[in-house]
Amino acid sequence: MRGRDIKRYGYDWAGLWLINTHNGIKGKYPRIDINDYPAIKAHLDSFGTKVTNRADQGDTPYNLRNCAYLDDFNKPKIIFQEIVQESQFMIDYDKHYMCNDTCRIVVGKDIDFLLGIMNSHLFFYAIKTYYGGGGLGDHGVRMKHTFFERFQCMDIDKKLLELIHKRLSSNNDSIDNQINNKVYELYNLNPDEIAFIENNVR
């Protein structure tokens, strides 16, 4: 999954794959044995010393270095790219997606509810204006995970959660306005504040 493939609540997969010759996790599963994948080994061998001379290799030159959060990719996760012009967070429940180095993931409790908050206009405006160190150019924002920690998230609201699940199941972007309005309500914004954000969110 590349950053450019990620959209709000969804994705446009380009049919590209990552080769994850991981180094395993001790006590959970063994490292990938490249000899079990001769076509991939031949592909990697075509790069010559770029593979064998890597400083960040695992047990063999074909393995990636140890990754403490490798197992997180098998969990339900929010996936997002760092540099965006609007909130673009998607969710993966099915262990389908790894990411390249322009993408990030969030795992943990209640991530479906968190997805709706993060895709809201209020969240994007807050990160861009207060928590993210300013915008990039006229419209860009860096969505760095350390910025998110400063944003105060509300307790789960059942109505908002229903709207988020409806959005995920229908892929109907007209529901976004309902989600935005519910988020504004939860944060007790008045009509003038809402209008200001809507006029300045892009």
Confidence of residue 95 (pLDDT cuts 50, 70, 90): confident
Residue positions counted in the chain: 202
Out of 14-18, 28-32, 99-103, 160-164, give the one with best mean pLDDT.
160-164
Q: pTM for the full model? A: 0.85
Confidence of residue 27 (pLDDT cuts 50, 70, 90): confident
* Helix, strand, coil % in the chain, rounded to nearest 5: 40, 15, 45
User: Does residue 133 carry a pLDDT above 70?
Assistant: no
Q: Determine which of 17-21, 128-132, 195-199 has the lowest per-residue pLDDT on average.
A: 128-132
Q: How far apart are CA 169 and CA 93, in angstroms?
A: 13
User: Does residue 202 carry a pLDDT above 80?
Assistant: no
Show Cβ contacts of residue 110 under 8 Å, excluding neighbours closer than 6 positions.
156
Quick count: other Cβ atoms within 10 Å of Cβ 40?
Answer: 14
Confidence of residue 135 (pLDDT cuts 50, 70, 90): low
User: Does residue 89 carry a pLDDT above 70?
Assistant: yes
pLDDT value, residue 19:
85
